[in-house]
Structure 1
């Protein structure tokens, strides 16, 4: 992908796999302490007796880590203008300290948005190093029309 990529350059059905994000205990505690201070995100003792059986990352933290991988692995090298939303956000499995995350993207569909701009629906699936899905979403990303 290049910075001058246009809506017309995006191919429905295209898939890409990339990213490697190592999740640390310290980052889980820091993010949750600031943004999602529920006991199973910030208190290891409380997390042990929770349904998770140990410390887990906030889903919003998982989304932020996913976004970092998307920017580094795809968006900064594309012609993307930004996004207008996310559909179907899911966190089917928890993220734990020591996990290494990666992502796969698939272009699902595309449609005109407004004059000179197209909308691309792209599914992103984030997995841990055991191959379990920890997050999925459909991004609604804008591209310039050529």
Structure 2
């Protein structure tokens, strides 16, 4: 298993969040595209590479141990200063369609543990995502 870039790792974190409930909604996919186009960590990432990066992540999920392999790749590719970022982006994807399903919450817990995001930081990140995506 070869490594991936920090850009790919962040995209994998978002794609896995979207796929966790086995339904990648339009809201989630649009949000991933918007994040890649606007978040500073992606300024040097060619947005046209997003579909192939997302497909690479999806291909991993076809393997029996695909989720574990993807989480290991994410963990290995991210420097400590981008681990909270990966968790925050995944939370934004979970919140994008207005519902957090149990499978998505389980994925976030797995990601948090793989990336060693402490509980207090995770709670703050989650609360921020809820606030950003709140509607009346």
Would you say same fold, with TM above 0.5? no
TM-score (structure 1 length as normaliser): 0.24
Q: Which has the higher contact order (CA 8 A, sep 6+)?
A: 2
Normalising by structure 2, report the TM-score: 0.26
Higher strand share: 1
